[in-house]
Amino acid sequence: MSLYPLKFRPILKERLWGGSKLKEILEKPVQNDTTGESWELSGVKGDVSVVANGELKGKSLQDLIDDYPETLMGKRIFERFGNEFPILIKFIDAKKDLSIQLHPNDALARARHDSFGKTEMWYVMDADTDANLIIGFNKDVTKEEYSQSLKDDTLLNLLNYEPVKEGDTFFINTGKIHAIGAGVLLAEIQQTSDITYRVFDFKRKDKNGNLRELHTELALDAIDYSKKNDFKVNYPKETNTPNSMVDCPYFKTRFMHLTQELIQDVSQRDSFTIYMCVNGIAQIENDFAAETVTKGETILVPASSTKIRIKTNDAQLLEVTV
C-alpha cells in the first residue's frame, strides 16, 4: 500500500489537574472539565493510537508498524527501535499545578521498568497571566539537602520557576525535576514512555479521597541535583522556512510559520515526519494524498514519502523527526 498522511483519534486522559482548554482552544471532543491530556500519537501499550482517516481508518499504529515497518518508520528507525514507535505526542492542559516530578534515563528505565527513558520538550501554546513552569533547582543541592527538604516540607524553596508565554520552548532532560504550572496549555514531544517519578503533590487527594502515590526512593538515584540553565530553547522564527528547535538523540524538532506553500525534498530523510499544528490551518501532501490539519491536530507522514508539500496562507507547525 502507498501510505498517505495519517491522522489519529485523540486519546483523552482525565487528570485531577486538567481543565477545559483542550475543548475550548483545541476543540477536542472532551466530555468533562478535568481532561488534562490529549495523546495525539502513541505506541504506549494499552494506549495505542488508531487511524482516523482514509483507507486504513480503524487500524492501530501498531498494526501499521507490523504491516509496513520500513515504509512507515524508515529503515534506519526500524533497525534502531524495532516495532516500538519511539515518539509520544501530546497536548497538555494544566488548570492546576502538576505534581513535582522527573523521569529516569534510558538505563534506569530499562533496568527498572523495561521501558525507554523520557526525554521531552514543551512548546507553550497558551498561558494565563503570571503562569509559570518549574524546571530544575535554583541552586546546586546535595541528595541529603533534597531529602531533608522533603521531610521539612520545604522542597518548593529549592525549585526554579520560569514565567512563560506563547511560543516559549523548553527541553527537559531525564533527571531534571519539573512541573507544568497552572494556566499553561502546551504541546509535548517525548520519548515513548509513561514512566514518571512523582516526588511532591501539594498533599492533594484523588477523586476517591486518597493521596496520590509518591516515588521518593525511586527518584533519589534518578535526579540531577545540579543547577543547569540548559532548558530554555532559543530558536529562530524566520517565516516560510524550517527553524531548528531541538536536536537530540531521540527527536529533532523544527518550527515553521508558513504564509505560503512550502515543498520539502525528504527522499533522504529515512524517518517518518510528524506535524503538530499549533496555529492556523494547512494542507499536507505527500506523493500519494493530501490531508488538512487545523490548530490542535497532528499528522504523521510516512517515511516512504519523497516530498512533502505544505499549502497554507497562515499556519504554525512543529515538525518532528527522529
pTM: 0.96
Q: Is CATH 2.60.120.10 the right assignment for the domain spanning 243-321? A: yes
- Res. 118 pLDDT band, cuts 50 70 90: very high
Q: What is the pLDDT of residue 134?
A: 98
In this prediction, what percent of the chain has a pLDDT beyond 70? Answer: 100
Domain ranges of the chain: 11-220, 243-321
Express each pLDDT in 140-155 by its tens digit.
999 999 999 999 999 9
Express each pLDDT in 90-110 by its tens digit.
999 999 999 999 999 999 999
Cell numbers 472539565 correspond to what residue?
33
Residues identified as active-site? 198
- Res. 209 pLDDT band, cuts 50 70 90: confident
Exposure letters 114-152 (e unless 16+ CB within 10 A, then b): ebbbbbbbbbbbbbeeebbbbbbbeeebeeeebeebeee
SS3 178: strand
- Res. 246 pLDDT band, cuts 50 70 90: very high
* Average pLDDT in the chain: 96
Mark the binding-site residues for Zn(2+), compressed into ranges: 103, 120, 178
Instruction: Judge whether residue 194 has pLDDT over 90.
Output: no
Q: Tell me the mean pLDDT in the region 306-311.
A: 98
Rounded to an integer, what distance in angstroms lies between the CA atom of residue 235 and that of residue 230? 14
Q: Is CATH 1.10.540.10 the right assignment for the domain spanning 11-220? A: no
Q: Which residue has the higher pLDDT, 245 or 116?
A: 245
- Res. 1 pLDDT band, cuts 50 70 90: confident
Mark the binding-site residues, compressed into ranges: 103, 120, 178
Do 243-321 and 11-220 have the same topology in CATH? Answer: yes
- The answer to whether 250 and 191 have CB atoms below 8 angstroms apart is yes
